[in-house]
Chains A and B, each alone.
Chain A
Amino acid sequence: MAVAADAAAADAAADVTTAYGVGIGWRPEIAGFVAGLPGLRFAEVVAESVHAHGDLPPGLQELLDRGVTVIPHGVRLSLGGAEPVDPERVAHFAAVAERLHAPLISEHIAFVRAGGVEAGHLLPLPRSYAAVDAVVANVERLRAATPVPIALEPIAAVFDWPDDELDEASFLTEILDRSGALLLLDVANVYANARNRGTDPLELIDKLPLDRVAYVHVAGGADHDGIYHDTHTDAVPQPVLDLVTALCERHRPPALMLERDGDYPPARTLSDELDAIAAASGYPAVT
């Protein structure tokens, strides 16, 4: 018993020295809160919100000076678009990654524009070989511009395409295998999709290559119109935290982070959410 506990503690300690643990999505509105997190070792920033040259947003430079790892997260590249990704956007993303000395960059398995029209948000792809080809080709274009590894995030989708050739796990695994990308697993997206499709979230998680998970997103959502929406503006529900625990029991990822994008609650509430993610994953609290 004592031996097992010691072994578990040793594993945990090893993880603490090699892993980032619990982080948070940096946003200007909560810059002060993030700056005040004593144990923070990593944060994520929306790549499009950072200038490739010129000053960094106030607060972000301080994090870098403290040795906090900052990962740029793209939201507008449209890697899943059938059209080649915009070279200017790629160049900007690569410059931001270099500017932040990021060890990793991330984007979505989604498209955000087509035929010259912006959708305004991440849209799902058909689970088809043509869509796999499109993502893989665009990841290749991105890879040509930056030497750092790329992690791809499966999105939460309100609707599905009508004619899938692959199931979700095969679709994602095919993209990862062929592109060589890592996985940014958003457990809130997994939860939202499973709930809206009436499937078991663990069934998907058990089919994914968990050793390829670079880091994990955790976020809140809410019900509207009979659909669970991954809002990032509501509290993280308990089932999402339970999914974090279930994931970590299978294969604990090196980093997990809270994503909050508006209706920012008091600092105390944000602290509690970070502590809840730490408790659910077994990583030390960063607050």
Chain B
Amino acid sequence: MTRDDHPLKPGGGVESLADRQAGLVKALTSRARVPEGFDGRLIEVARVALLRKRAGEVAKQWPMLAAGPAWPRVFLQWAADRPTLGALRDGWDLARELAAGGELPALAGEELATREATMSYDGTSAPRRRRGPALRRAAGVVVLQIAGTVRTVRRA
């Protein structure tokens, strides 16, 4: 055990509950080092269970993204060191990344383009509903949103 691992901080004070909780959450959501004294095997079981739960929540919001046999493996890999920002944003970030790499299937592309046309999302804060019309494309699919109604104008 190194000094840094010990619950007694080098300064002599006991590590606070807040710091210990933060360390545990980091281990579970970002693959940070498991805090001293915890059962590493059980933390790993909990870490994977959390990812599976997240994958299920994202699948509810993004059914086309989650369709197919690669789910939840793709999500588990992607999310392993990305703490959740909520199922809507998690799915959105992953779909954009797959689209940018040309790996997003057409149906998931339509789902993404529809979301992009109805809501604006800057990638760092909560998505907001668009006021005006928008034309968006993803994975070769083009959709048009006018007054809240979405129409697919080109399929992949």
Contacts and interface: CB of A to CB of B under 8 A. Distances in A.
Interface residues of B, number: 30
A228 B54 CA distance: 19
Contacts of B16: 82, 130
A163 interface: yes
A126 B46 contact: no
B25 A159 contact: no
Interface centre among B20, B30, B54 (most CB of A within 10 A): B20
Nearest to A81: B21
Nearest to A229: B49
Contacts of A131: 17
A120 B37 contact: no
A109 B48 CA distance: 22
Contacts, number: 81
B38 A117 contact: no
A114 interface: yes
A155 to B, nearest CB: 12
B84 A120 contact: yes
A225 B45 CA distance: 7
Interface string B74-87: 00000000011100
A114 B28 CA distance: 11
A113 interface: yes
Contact of B26 (A83, A115, A121): A115
A114 B7 CA distance: 17
B39 interface: yes
Contacts of B84: 118, 120
Interface of B: 7, 16-18, 20-22, 24-26, 28-30, 36-39, 42-43, 45-46, 48-50, 53-54, 56, 83-85
Q: Which 7 A-B pairs have the closest CB atoms?
A: A162-B37, A115-B22, A82-B18, A114-B21, A159-B42, A82-B17, A158-B46
